[in-house]
């Protein structure tokens, strides 16, 4: 009974490169959330997706960041032309139903992005 899986666990990129972070939700979960955590900080909500739809992207930076959750395959968080300030831990979470009914989210182990 696998939980949320994220890969890679660690990613190093040089400034200007692209970063792709992958998230496979718990089997049967159709809601995916991405969060970013800076050192010594709490998690900041970025985006909430259902299959093939972005529901809420109010926490996403306006430029360079995009997310998708295709009908088949994992959810992808894509960061183009990375800068040093993008260095952080990125966590994915999934839930089986909308937050209005349950609220609990299941978190993956995170991807630690380092931009040189």
Contact positions vs other proteins (CB under 8 A)? 4, 33, 35, 40-48, 55-56, 59, 91, 93, 98-100, 102-110
Measured from the CB atom, is 64 or 106 closer to other proteins?
106
Nearer to other proteins, 83 or 97 (CB): 97
> Smallest distance, Å, CB 16 to other proteins?
27
Q: Kindly state the smallest distance separating residue 13's Cβ from other proteins, in Å.
A: 20
Q: Are 94 and 105 in contact (CB under 8 A)?
A: yes
CB of 93 to other proteins, least distance (A): 8
Closest CA relative to residue 108, chosen from 58, 51, 37: 37
């Amino acid at each position: 009974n696998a939980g949320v899986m994220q890969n890679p666990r660690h990613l190093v990129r040089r400034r200007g490169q692209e970063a792709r972070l992958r998230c496979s939700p718990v089997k049967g979960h159709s809601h995916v959330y991405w969060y970013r955590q800076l050192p010594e900080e709490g998690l900041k909500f970025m985006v909430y997706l259902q299959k093939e739809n972005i529901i809420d992207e109010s926490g996403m930076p306006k430029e360079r960041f995009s997310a998708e959750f295709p009908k088949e395959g994992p959810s992808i968080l894509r960061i183009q032309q990375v800068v040093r300030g993008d260095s952080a831990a990125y966590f994915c979470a999934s839930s089986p139903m909308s937050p209005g009914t349950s609220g609990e989210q299941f978190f993956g182990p995170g991807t630690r992005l380092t931009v040189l």
